[in-house]
Structure 1
Amino acid sequence: MKKILFPTVLATLMTACNSAPDYDATGIFEATTVTVSAETSGKILSFPISEGDSVIAGQRLAVIDTAMLMLQQRQLNSLRQSTESASPDIAAQAAALRSQISHQQQECDRFDRLLSDGATTQKQYDDAQAQLRVMQAQLTALLSTLGNNRNSISDNAVAIQYQTEQIEEQIAKSSVKSPISSTVLAKYAEPGEFATPGRPLCKLADLDRIYLRAYFTASQLAELKLGQIVTVIADFGGDKQYEYPGTISWIAQESEFTPKSIQTSDSRANLVYAVKIMVKNDGRLKLGQYGEVRL
């Protein structure tokens, strides 16, 4: 009886030793995720999304109360208007003095003619010229003062405008929008709660295009290149498997130790290279699901 079983057992062992996995690498499906956080403070007025909802880029996800911001905006607008209205009208304020200077210039011209005809004295002419110079100096000083005042008021108005724009930006950020077309994976807040800058509100993921992060040995790298089409097999348990075309989108530049949850075609390999393979999701693939790759 022993002589009959021995060859059978030996054949079985040889078959097991010669068998090789029908995959070149394995990995886990992952996706590009985005954590959307609040950028301003206030009570959350509305947050109508639910986990599993599909959203598009630019879609409003939540609204944060802007009552205080709107009040600040109105106050700043009023302050800017009153500040700008205080700006001096240089032309109007200098008009009277300019008119006096023009009249005094005419007087100086008249005294010049009279002096030429001997009808006036040199002192009278000099006094008229001195008065003209005083008026001109007064005009220069007035223009300088008014100009400085206007520049100062203008600077204040610009500073107020900057503050207004900052408030307007905060008001815009109070409407929280989706940065990408995606699916809501998790929701971290509810209406009525208080949001602060940096507080996570929800987590989004693009599930239309997901990635299998697979691990290849150094000897397999020569067979890989960016843009290469490979076959990805998704395991749904039992004998249920589906094949998908995948595109290599990223190859790691450095090796790492083989993750415990990953099997490689060469069980002796301690160091592997991570490779991301993009797969168009038909709705069946889930994050964290196991997958295999055939080159």
Structure 2
Amino acid sequence: MKKNIIFLATALVLSACQQKDNFDASGNFEADEVIVSAQQDGELISYSVQEGSKLKTGNKVGQIDVKIATLQKEQAEASIGALNQKTSNVDEQNLLIRKQLAVQEAQLDQQLHERTRTVNLLKADAATRKQLDDIDAAIDQLRKQIAVTRQQLSVNDSNTNTQNRGILSEKAPLEKTAAQFQEQINKGQIINPIDGIVLVNYALQGEMQIIGKPLYKIANTNTLDLRAYITGTQLPQIKIGQTVKVRIDQGKKGYKEYQGVIKWISDKSEFSPKTIQTKDERANLVYAIKVRVKNDGYLKIGMYGEVVF
């Protein structure tokens, strides 16, 4: 009887050791968590984030008051509009001068025609030389007047363009200012950056926000990483991209198994965390690895898991 009891005790101890060592690494599940922060100062006038809610990338989940930035943008746009009214239209300024030039050119054409007629009459002794000289003098005078009028048009064009460039040179800085205010307006919108579940909510509607203040924490839990630890002797047995077995304890139901892929292996050793078991518990230095696992809804951040190579 005593021998049976000793045998049974020995078997239980061996069985326990086998169960305990029936894994190659262990650790906890984690996810890439993103803390969404305010990008603008002001009152949180609308906010729809709740812990546990699922959000999609690009969802607008809140609005910070941006009335001041909106008014400043409108002021900059009004200043741009005022600049356009200050500019001059050179065609309107030159309209009278162009009419004067047209009259002078018409008079020149008439004098040239009269000179041709006078030359013919002079050949027939029906006109005098003085009449031809007077016409030539009038033609020369008209040509000088036309040259001055055209120069005046050119000067008006140059002066007006210079004046307009000086006025419109203020437009580019004002447009940049309006764009800056628009950026502030855009940052007043709280846009969710990733697909995921809200883990923690830090804000409430009506609160005052400042740039950089956390609003909520979100993580994509469709896939989780099991951060586990292995000994130096196990390191040569694994590689990145390797498929391994991951399991979680379901109590009386035993283990629930998943397929995982090794996504990362640390290149530096560290002291074994107190809460982590290794296959060789005597090992002081271990290496961290991450095993990517597709989540079926049962896996939770922080849950304990085991890896079998």
TM bucket (normalised to shorter chain) is 0.7 to 0.9
Counterpart Cα distance in 1 of 2:95 and 2:270: 82
Post-superposition shift, 1:210? 1.1
Does 1:272 find its partner at 2:286?
yes
Q: Percent identity?
A: 35
Q: What do residues 121-152 of structure 1 show as CA deviations (whole Å, max 9, x unaligned)?
A: 87765554444443333322221222223334
Matches within 5 A, 1:18-167: 21-107=21-107, 118-120=132-134, 127-167=141-181
Deviations 1:42-82 (A, max 9, x none): 10012222212221222222111132233223333333222
Q: With structure 1 as the length reference, what TM-score do the two structures score?
A: 0.81
Q: TM-score, normalised by structure 2?
A: 0.78
User: For residue 250 of structure 1, what is the aligned residue in structure 2?
Assistant: 264
List gaps (5 residues or longer) in structure 2.
Answer: 117-130
Q: Which runs of 5+ in 1 are unaligned?
A: none
Aligned mates of 2:140, 2:79 — CA distance in 1: 51
Which range moves more in the overlay, 186-195 or 247-256?
247-256
CA-CA distance at 1:89 after TM superposition: 2.0
**Secondary structure of residue in 2 paired with 1:118:** helix
Q: How many residues align?
A: 293
Secondary structure (helix, strand or coil) at the match of 2:248 reads: strand
| Residue from 210, 219, 231 that aligns with 1:196 | 210
**SS of 1:99 mapped into structure 2:** helix
Change in Cα spacing, 1:101 to 1:50, as seen in structure 2 (3 Å) is same
Choose which of 277, 290, 294 in structure 1 pairs with 2:304.
Answer: 290
The CA distance in 1 between the partners of 2:16 and 2:221, in whole Å, is 39
Deviation at 1:188, TM superposition (A): 1.5
Root-mean-square deviation (CA, aligned residues, Å) is 3.6
Residues 80-135 of structure 1: CA deviation (Å, up to 9, x unaligned): 22222333223222333333344445556666777898333877655544444433
The one-letter amino acid paired with 1:57 is T
Offset at residue 294 of structure 1 (A): 0.5
In the alignment, is the contact (CA less than 8 A) between 1:111 and 1:120 conserved in 2?
no
How far 1:154 sits from its partner (Å)?
3.4
2 CA distance for matches of 1:291 and 1:45?
43
Q: 1:15 Cα deviation (Å)?
A: 9.2
Aligned pair in 2 of structure 1 residues 84, 17: CA closer, same or farther (>3 Å)?
Answer: same
- When structure 1 is superposed on structure 2, of 35-44 and 85-94 the one drifting more is 85-94
Report the CA distance between 1:260 and its aligned residue.
3.5
Q: Which residue of 2 aligns with 1:231?
A: 245
